[in-house]
Amino acid sequence: MNFATVLGALAALAWLAVVGLIVLAVVRASRRQPFKGAPIYILVAAVLAILLSTVSAGLVFVQPEERGVVISAVAPKGYRENALQPGLRWILPYLENVVYYPISQQTYTMSIANTEGQRQGDDSVAARTADGQEVLIDASVIYSVNPDNVITVHIAWQDRYTEDLVRPLSRGIIRDAVSQYSVEGVYSSQRGEMTNEITETLNNKLAENGLVLTDFILRNITFSPEYAASVEQKQIAEQQALQAAFVVEQRKQEAEQARQVAQGQADSVVINAQGAADARLIEADAESEALRLIAAALQDNPDLLTYEYINQLSPGIRVMLVPNDNPFLLPLPSLENLSGPVTVEPEPSPTPLPTPLPTPTEP
């Protein structure tokens, strides 16, 4: 409660006191009971009430979120050219009065929902795109009265600036902006560009009328049921195409993985084959070297082969059978070094079987 309000309350009490004294004086006079000093009391109370009323009428308190426009009967233009700033201010009692304007931020919402906007029911903005599709726009305009232009707002709009300026201006700008874009651009690729265009245009128009645009919010875009169904079908088709592309990519990756596995196996086979070939070459070189050494040894010791052959024979061998038409593999004189006599006999030829007699035939 500010000081001006307190003075107003005191002035009201003073006037009640005056009325009460007058009523009391009348009642006592009707009963022929004297009321000494009643005129003086009434006069003092009346003077005090007048003073308090006058002072309270001249003192006004402007809140921090307000500015006051002084309507004056003595000013040449009928109003003071400067608005009252926040705090306790003095005006001419009974000749001036103050109209307060809020400078805090206000929000005007236009929505398709019944209870979200300033008006009940569907208050969305119906607009048509460049390709003829109808869309419904939900939007909010956050604005405030410019403190430096409160006098201008009062003269031009008074307290009608919300319904007579902000609402029709924003709806018209939204429709104009939507008409420049296709329906696909409105809801997807060019939505941000369209919002920026609406914001810039609305900001300039409100500034011309003493208001400040804080923000424009494009809340929602609603399409006709037919177009919404077609958009849904398009999105489903796009999702299916993305899924198919993903499957194809997955198959490519699987094929590449299989190719790499096969390549790895082929490389392994080649490496193993190369290793086997290298091992065989090493083994062949070793065998060749061994044969060379053996040949050199046999050249120096011709009987070494016979000696090795005899060592491989069983120690108990006394008789060897060889084919009668083959030469001896070993020189027989060298067998005398054995521990016992060895008899070498030719293998007998197989006995021929008797020729079977012919079977007699019946006459």
Q: What was the pLDDT predicted at 151?
A: 94
The answer to whether residues 144 and 189 touch, using CB atoms and an 8 Å cutoff, is no
For 53, the enclosing helix (H) or strand (E) is helix 38-58
Residue with the larger pLDDT of the pair 101 and 230: 101
Q: What was the pLDDT predicted at 142?
A: 96
| Domain final position from 176, 208, 223 | 223
Residue 362 pLDDT class (50, 70, 90 cuts)? very low
Does residue 82 surpass a pLDDT of 70? yes
Q: Based on the domain organization, do 88 and 174 belong to the same domain?
A: no
- Render pLDDT for 240-295 as a digit per residue (tens, 0 to 9): 888 888 888 888 888 888 888 888 888 888 888 888 888 888 888 888 887 787 77
Assigned domain for 300 exists: no
Residue 84 pLDDT class (50, 70, 90 cuts)? very high
| 153-162, 210-219, 225-234: segment of lowest average pLDDT | 225-234
Does residue 315 surpass a pLDDT of 70? no
Assigned domain for 28 exists: yes
- Render pLDDT for 34-52 as a digit per residue (tens, 0 to 9): 777 778 888 888 898 889 8
- Mean pLDDT over 164-178 rounds to 94
Q: Based on the domain organization, do 163 and 84 belong to the same domain?
A: no
Mean pLDDT of the chain: 82
DSSP calls for 283-352: HHHHHHHHHHHHHHHHHH-TTHHHHHHHHHS-TT--EEEE-TTS--SS-GGGGGGSSS--EEEEPPPPPP
Q: Based on the domain organization, do 47 and 130 belong to the same domain?
A: no
Assigned domain for 340 exists: no
| 68-82, 206-220, 321-335: segment of lowest average pLDDT | 321-335
Residue with the larger pLDDT of the pair 37 and 19: 19
Q: What was the pLDDT predicted at 212?
A: 96
Q: Based on the domain organization, do 10 and 57 belong to the same domain?
A: yes
Residue with the larger pLDDT of the pair 300 and 283: 283
Q: Based on the domain organization, do 198 and 96 belong to the same domain?
A: no
Q: Based on the domain organization, do 48 and 121 belong to the same domain?
A: no
What's the CATH code of the domain at 155?
3.30.479.30
| Domain final position from 102, 127, 144 | 102
Q: Based on the domain organization, do 122 and 199 belong to the same domain?
A: yes
Residue 348 pLDDT class (50, 70, 90 cuts)? low
Assigned domain for 173 exists: yes
Share of the chain above pLDDT 90, in %: 30
Q: Based on the domain organization, do 182 and 119 belong to the same domain?
A: yes
Question: Could you tell me the residue range of the domain that residue 155 belongs to?
Answer: 106-223
b/e per residue, 12-42, with b = 16+ CB within 10 A?
eebbebbeebeeebeeeeeeeeeeeebeebb
d(CA 24, CA 29): 8
Assigned domain for 341 exists: no
Assigned domain for 59 exists: yes
Q: Based on the domain organization, do 167 and 182 belong to the same domain?
A: yes
pTM: 0.58
Residue with the larger pLDDT of the pair 349 and 184: 184
Give residues with Cβ within 8 angstroms of 127, minimum separation 6.
Answer: 134, 135, 136, 137, 174, 175, 178, 179
| Domain final position from 223, 239, 259 | 223
Q: Based on the domain organization, do 131 and 26 belong to the same domain?
A: no
Residue with the larger pLDDT of the pair 294 and 22: 22
Does residue 204 surpass a pLDDT of 90? yes
| Domain count along the chain | 2
- Render pLDDT for 120-153 as a digit per residue (tens, 0 to 9): 888 899 999 998 888 999 999 999 999 999 999 9
Assigned domain for 170 exists: yes
Assigned domain for 215 exists: yes
Return phi, psi of residue 105, to 5°.
-70, 140
- Render pLDDT for 51-70 as a digit per residue (tens, 0 to 9): 988 888 888 899 999 999 99
d(CA 53, CA 59): 10
d(CA 363, CA 347): 48
Q: Based on the domain organization, do 78 and 92 belong to the same domain?
A: yes
Give residues with Cβ within 8 angstroms of 152, minimum separation 6.
Answer: 209, 210
- Mean pLDDT over 183-190 rounds to 82
Coarse DSSP helix, strand, coil percentages of the chain, rounded to the nearest 5 percent? 55, 20, 30
Q: Based on the domain organization, do 145 and 207 belong to the same domain?
A: yes
